[in-house]
Structure 1
């Protein structure tokens, strides 16, 4: 039986492996890695709700550019972890998106919010390491 930490690491790695490959993906991946690097500090400074709202705003209603798609992918991946079936902080939602996560943060209780924020940071710690390993530094914008 895997531990929660192993599940967290496995999911973070799965999300990196699922990033697109091929033509046009370098820009998305480089932006994605940059946004992953910045999301943890944004959560610690502003809180989970504001950080997720910021990612959703940056993605826009219909993501088209590499930047917008990278923001959308990041919030979708984080939401997937926090809203996973059975043992997620906000379970019972298959394929949850950032809007659902934001709704749960706003409507939920303080205990769930605190747990969700801690889980987000723990997941991002693994995710950031896997992004650093998989996406070359020279591809990351400043």
Structure 2
């Protein structure tokens, strides 16, 4: 394993931040964190509380993912044969679905429970941070993995 400087880690994080799947969302997140999307201006204290809650949600998800990675990795290795067979069955079922030979109704439903209830304030910012982490892990994950592996 090589050594990684703080500057290299910061640079990699910055590149991840300005990637096309993260940077365009910044104005929306800022509006949600400041409360401007609710039609009322919030003070600096509210912005700080929402920002800290966003970062806490972001951090909580990454910590949970990191803490469970080893356990899940070992579980996958222990049950590799069964998982291969289950994955094969799922691929066959999805192939039948894509070909139109099998149309399960549960795959055709669109449900968005979080759009009906808007979470605002600190709890909403925490949930936004967690969702951001889960949603953009494919964009930020490779760089984070490289940093953690160094």
Q: Shorter-chain-normalised TM-score: which range? A: 0.3 to 0.5
**TM-score, normalisation: structure 1:** 0.34
Identify the structure with the greater helix proportion. Answer: 2
**Structure with the greater relative contact order (CA < 8 A, sep ≥ 6): 1 or 2?**
2
Larger radius of gyration: 2
